[in-house]
Amino acid sequence: MTIRERTEQIERLILAKNASYADNTKGRETPIPLCDMRTEFQRDRDRIIHSKAFRRLKHKTQVFIIPEGDHYRTRLTHTLEVSQIARTIGRGLRLNEDLIEAIALGHDLGHTPFGHAGERTLAKICPYGFSHNEHSLRVVDILENGVGLNLTWEVRDGILNHRTSTSPSTVEGEVVKNADKIAYINHDIDDAIRGGIISETDIPNGISKILGKTHGERINTLVVNLIENNLKPDHEIENAATELRNFMFEKVYIDSAAKAEEKKAENIIEQLYNYFICNPLMMPQNEIKLLEKSDINRVVCDYIAGMSDSYAVQRFCDLFLPHPWTIK
């Protein structure tokens, strides 16, 4: 018996009936030989972690655009927090943690530079539209390494359907969708307090009494409630969580100091897009080669969506700002 087979046997013994079993995956678009060491979901997790798209998340905006402080979240730290919260919920419900981890680590691979500001801009100017969850799937299916990562159906489904408006086909995907909301609201509160946008005392007392007064208390309340109620939170806690999200939209996500730079970010994205549409040969060689088989709007959109915040700013400066003249 291989290590993988032993792991699959253990899954059959300990996981809940509604869990996803690695030996029952719907498989990959391109079949590959099984690994003696790792299950199919473990392999997907590893493929995502070792991807360039995953590494670029460390320089992509969560809330604050290009934050100077070392302790502000980026899209990468957000992803790791989602993974941790999701695995805790999954363990409590006896679900497949390897599948949960793979979905969580891959769910935001398609996020643009400058966070949702970049997403809104590409959605507006690209004729194909743009949605980060759909683009995350495009990254793992097509763009990474030029051929995609060839992930299992269950991981791909979870990545595509992690947004509130979508419905994952697996309970593990549902766990990640819930963990994403728990993570971003609570760590965005933490960052907003650190950035002086709000203070802990600004959070309405009614919410604090139900969810807790600290970062850890709020996450614990929400996680325990999901586990105890099999992902169906009781009304009091669900309503408090909704009020907390509404509070964050009012105080942080819309027209706060945290968003003061977004118009500039949107301008960078739009100018880069229009420039490369008119000057496609100014893109890197990999993108130029794609023009032979893909529409230019698609190629330019993919190129910009893959940029980190710092790379987008660098390209903008190189293309639109004068360079100092140096005497040789």
Mean pLDDT (10-residue bins), the chain, 328 residues: 98 98 98 98 98 96 77 94 98 98 98 95 97 98 96 98 95 98 95 91 96 96 98 96 96 81 94 98 96 96 97 96 77
Could you tell me if residue 238 is inside a domain? yes
Which pLDDT belongs to residue 61? 87
User: Residue 26 gets which letter from DSSP?
Assistant: -
Same domain for 283 and 203: no
Same domain for 276 and 157: no
Could you tell me if residue 327 is inside a domain? no
Count CB-CB contacts under 10 A for residue 82. 28
What amino acid occupies position 45? R
Which pLDDT belongs to residue 301? 98
**Tokens found for residue 246:** 């509404």
Domain that holds residue 155: 3-27+34-257
Our CA dihedral for 270, 271, 274, 278, rounded to 10 degrees, sits at -170
User: Residue 99 gets which letter from DSSP?
Assistant: H
Same domain for 64 and 210: yes
Cα 230 to Cα 174: distance, rounded to the nearest angstrom: 11
Beta strands in 213-321, from DSSP E residues, in sequence order: none
Cα 232 to Cα 226: distance, rounded to the nearest angstrom: 6
Same domain for 314 and 208: no
> Which of 220, 237, 257 is where one domain is finished?
257
Which pLDDT belongs to residue 72? 87
Same domain for 207 and 309: no
- Do residues 218 and 186 make contact, with C-beta atoms less than 8 angstroms apart? yes
- Residue recorded with tokens 């040969």: 281
- Exposure class string for 198-224: b at 16+ Cβ within 10 A, else e: beeeebeeebbebbbeeeeebbebbbe
Give the closest residue to 65 by CA, choosing from 277, 327, 313. 313
Could you tell me if residue 111 is inside a domain? yes
Same domain for 150 and 12: yes
Same domain for 196 and 87: yes
CATH at residue 144: 1.10.3210.10
Same domain for 150 and 14: yes
* CA atoms 284, 286, 292, 297: torsion sign: negative
**Tokens found for residue 315:** 């390209």
Consecutive H or E run containing 25:
none
Largest CA distance in the chain: 73
Could you tell me if residue 246 is inside a domain? yes
Q: What is the DSSP string of 239-253?
A: HHHHHHHHHHIIIII
Could you tell me if residue 167 is inside a domain? yes
> Which of 257, 282, 307 is where one domain is finished?
257
Same domain for 219 and 308: no
Could you tell me if residue 243 is inside a domain? yes
Could you tell me if residue 325 is inside a domain? no
Number of domains in the chain: 2
> Which of 257, 273, 304 is where one domain is finished?
257
Which pLDDT belongs to residue 309? 95
What is the CA angle 296-134-56, rounded to 5? 80
Which pLDDT belongs to residue 21? 98
Q: Classify 44 in phi/psi space as left (phi over 0), alpha (psi -120 to 50) or beta.
A: alpha
Could you tell me if residue 326 is inside a domain? no
Same domain for 88 and 180: yes
Same domain for 180 and 241: yes
Same domain for 229 and 214: yes
Consecutive H or E run containing 24:
none
**Tokens found for residue 289:** 């080669």
Number of Cα atoms under 13 Å in the Cβ half of residue 29: 11
**Tokens found for residue 291:** 């023009």
